Amino acid sequence: MDIDEKVRIKINGIKQAGHLLGKKGQSALLFVHGGPGNPNRHKIVDKLSHLAKYFLLCAYDQRGTGGSYHPLMKDSAFSVDCFVGDIRGWAEYLKSHYQVQNVILIGESWGSYIGSLAVRKYPSLFYAYVGYGQLVNMTKTAMTQYALLKKKLQGEKLKDLETIAPPKEGKFASDEDASLFYSLLYPAFEPEDYPSYKQREIIPFFKSKEYTIRDKLGWKYGVKRTNKALGEETGWRLDDDPRFGIPYYVFQGVNDFICPYDLAKNFLENQVKAPKKGFFSFEHSGHLPAFEEPELFIQRVLELFNDLL
């Protein structure tokens, strides 16, 4: 591994932080994190660095969070188009600075949405797409979650759910309804011994040596800023135009209720039109199979792109 570089470069007018592992001239895996606003550089270095033997790995903090946080950014800088444009900028940077011929985009959750938009808009820049925690349609997600939860709950908790009107166009009638709904949803589907969000996300991030103090403060303030700027967006959908000019693959956790497994499976198998496509189930994963079953994730990537190794 010749390259182990942390960079801070200007992409579309915004300085952004990233970490690259691997060798020049290799095909690249460009990781687009979820959230919005949750950088995953530390997880990739910790769980997926074996892939750097075969690919140039690039994980970056999206504009407005982590090492790419800037307090004076305007709301207009947080549009979906801006995030999509940044993906294009990072792909072009890999090609121009590291002699990369083939860029495989790997999108996580929110990153699977903007990543899909990027490969649809700029297919010539990318060799293939892989999504996990695949987002399909925010309105259908909310309706599916409500239906799943209604089947799952019993007793007083079911009565609590029935006080909430089903979401319309992905939105609940009030913030109070939304808060109650999610307080029922996560405990119903997460295993009893599942670590809390603080234990599995916040503490590892702040303990990680991947990030500077500045980066960590950028996550603390940036995740709130990013979500506030994007607003309560329910219009995110990919099934309005599921045509892609490159191979399109989805790795989905069977237990994913955040971006429901069945929605992702139906989208890939019955709606996506692409030169090649494939849906791969991760039986022991929820929303983040890349980090819940990293060995299998690595195996699947190597099998899919064996022709590039």
pLDDT tens for the chain, 309 residues: list them. Answer: 689 999 999 999 999 999 999 998 899 999 999 999 999 999 999 999 999 999 999 999 999 999 999 999 999 999 999 999 999 999 999 999 999 999 999 999 999 999 999 999 999 999 999 999 999 999 999 999 999 999 999 999 999 999 999 888 878 989 899 999 999 999 999 988 888 889 999 999 999 999 999 999 999 999 999 988 887 666 899 999 999 999 999 999 999 999 999 999 999 999 999 999 999 999 999 999 999 999 999 999 999 999 998
Task: Identify the H or E element spanning 104.
Answer: strand 103-108
Helix pair angle (80-98, 110-121), 10° resolution? 70
Phi, psi of 51 (to 5 degrees): -65, -20
268, exposed or middle or buried, with CB in 10 Å at 0-12, 13-18, 19+?
Answer: buried
Distance between CA atoms of 95 and 111, rounded to whole angstroms? Answer: 21
- Look up residue 298 and give its two tokens: 């690595």
Maximum Cα interatomic distance, the chain, rounded to a whole number of Å: 60
Q: Kindly report the pTM of this predicted structure.
A: 0.96
Cβ atoms of residues 298 and 48 within 8 Å: yes
What is the side-by-side strand order in the sheet with 28-32?
3-11, 14-22, 56-60, 28-32, 103-108, 128-132, 248-253, 277-282
Cβ atoms of residues 108 and 133 within 8 Å: yes
Phi, psi of 85 (to 5 degrees): -60, -35
Q: Parallel, antiparallel, or unpaired: how do β-strands 14-22 and 56-60 relate?
A: antiparallel
Using DSSP, how many helices (H) and how many strands (E) does the chain show? 12, 8
